[in-house]
Structure 1
């Protein structure tokens, strides 16, 4: 009989030690607070406060959250937080508390928020960006080198020995003057100085014949003047167009006239000027276009829009009065 009384007393003591909610409820009532007032002050739902005061473990949230609510409630009532939490810990089964406890990092396991992981991640990102930049630079460098090599090879192939036909220098062209049936002066090219001399003799004979037949042919000029080579060249330049190239860094080029006749096909040395006389429009293909100036009939040509990425240019150019026509 005595033993049963002792066991009953122990059970009541244990229940009292684990009834954390009763302590909270008694403290609240002692300070004349309602559940709603407590809820408004500590920002915990009324339902949760009621569950805490009834010590209903099944309706309480996970131990981590429940302890937070108990601590806030006890602090507001100015009672011992540790005492209430100790009773709660005795009431909560060990296996439930341990299963809901946040998992800590295992020994040797690096957290994704650790400075080491952040540093390694940052280094990998920087290395990736550097690799992309280096690869792009290498690619464009090799591409530029290949284009430059191609231009050099093409420029070397445009030498005097490898051309299909020699360059035409209008200033060195000899002319063949003569008279037509209408008494007009005709200009043609001579192949040698002997032909020039023969033509001059024929002109002298024609002039003498004209003097003797002056009475029969009153409209014919009484005298034919000797035409010099300089006068012929000047007359040819007046009838044709003049295109000039100023190659600051040298330039290979091909120039054709309106009849598609090749006037020039060679290299222009560094710092040199090339003057070509022919019939416009001129078809021009040239290298080193960015450092080469083009002037046609004393008008400078703006060929900016025709310069290609590889520093070459292909265009047709002519003039109409003071206007330049380029295409």
Structure 2
């Protein structure tokens, strides 16, 4: 009889099948397209073209040269401006084209900063601060002479110009003067009648009226000179007044010459209007910040606190 072979098998192991939610999806990392300044500039150029704008019109609005705008669209090639100013110009250009939400501004900033970091630093060898120099005798002599001359000038200025007191000299001179007076007094007392006789005929002095006449003549000459000087001064002050008004932009003014009829005048930009008068002007300015006023070729300061200046009297008193 053949033997029966009994094969014992253990419990079957079930295969673990994960659920769909538990399956970990492996994300395939696709490298993004490397962005460069040329590609960002092309996007800026396309945005400008879609808005039907030319480089000249953008330059007129932003006050940026056309060459700089063209270099930004070409990827900042051949640009001489520093990176700080260039980033600011790119930012203002993108804000004008309403590209602030596209991320172009941040990308260009990052790329321009990376270019600056990659540039090699120009380190120059520094010279030593202190240098050993031999003392020169000529310099020492010159400094010594300068000190001597300066001290002499200071001494002469502060000490030699002070008044000298003569108190000591007066003390020494008083004694001999007293002696001379004593000797002179005696002969004077003896000759008093002779002196009186000599003085009595000299009382009528005919020369006194001559002096008075000379004084009157001098006074007349002075008055004549003053009378001749006054009309000359008046003639000099009666020079005609010339008023010039220049405007940096279009504005208006109203002017009255020598208290005559007031006229409204429109001033064009960078043009000068001129009026002549004998006495004065009455001026009203519409925009004081854009007007420059000249009287006889000299500029007059205007009150620029308010934009409107009314009834401003301009005459010869404003001249120096």
Larger Rg: 1
Return the TM-score normalized by structure 1. Answer: 0.35
TM-score, reference length from structure 2? 0.36
